[in-house]
């Protein structure tokens, strides 16, 4: 039985970001509150804000893949078109940025240095995957569109203003 893009995206949501930003931080920290960073409980609000903002970005990105791209974020069922709307107009990899933000947010929220270290490792692995697999694949699949996109939208640090392709 073949899954629809929406079904596949929901399944992949739980497998990938659910594991990376949910299960693994839990296994590392037990979601136990350690002393707040810098002895300031206000840092916990920063952590919680990162987690909530990240959740919105990941859900929006997954929906765009399924509904607009007729595919999933999983490499086994990619989109049929290059997604360059929503958060993708600000940064080329909003899902990875958001999952990293959720991991770092949990590290800050729970005062967990090991979760912060895991977040740094997650970013290194994502960078390698993007540079070695994703970007070359997108360049082959959507040569003209990805070339213009790559020139105008940064890989990791979001642009303040959204890019409007001509």
Over residues 89-144, the pLDDT tens digits come to: 999 999 999 999 999 999 999 999 999 999 999 999 999 999 999 999 999 999 99
Q: What is the pLDDT of residue 5?
A: 83
pLDDT, one tens digit per residue, over 5-29 is: 888 888 889 999 999 999 999 999 9
Q: How far apart are CA 5 and CA 23, in angstroms?
A: 24
Q: What pLDDT score was predicted for residue 28?
A: 98
- CA separation for the pair 11, 18 (Å, rounded): 10
Say if residue 2's pLDDT is above 80: no
CA atoms of 45 and 54, how far apart (whole Å):
14
Indicate the length of the chain as a whole number.
166
HSE, CB side, 13 Å, CA atoms: give it for residue 23: 8
Calpha distance 8→14 (Å, rounded): 10
Quote the radius of gyration of the chain (alpha carbons, Å). 17
The model carries a pTM of 0.94
**Residue among 127, 145, 151, 8 at smallest CA distance from 78:** 8
Q: Are 15 and 99 in contact (CB under 8 A)?
A: no
Angle between helix 94-110 and 42-67 (nearest 10)? 160
């Amino acid at each position: 039985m073949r899954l629809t893009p929406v079904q596949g995206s929901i399944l992949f949501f739980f497998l990938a970001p659910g594991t990376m930003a949910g299960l693994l931080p839990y296994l590392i920290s037990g979601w136990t509150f350690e002393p707040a960073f810098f002895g300031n409980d206000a840092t916990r609000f920063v952590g919680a804000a990162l987690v909530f903002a990240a959740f919105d970005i990941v859900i929006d990105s997954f929906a765009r893949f399924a509904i607009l791209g007729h595919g999933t974020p999983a490499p086994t069922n990619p989109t049929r078109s290059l997604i360059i709307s929503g958060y993708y107009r600000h940064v080329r990899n909003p899902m990875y940025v958001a999952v990293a933000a959720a991991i770092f947010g949990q590290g800050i929220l729970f005062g967990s240095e090991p979760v912060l270290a895991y977040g740094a490792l997650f970013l290194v692995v994502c960078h390698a995957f993007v540079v070695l697999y994703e970007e070359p694949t997108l360049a082959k699949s959507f040569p003209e569109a990805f070339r213009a996109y790559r020139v105008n939208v940064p890989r990791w640090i979001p642009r303040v203003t959204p890019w409007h392709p001509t």
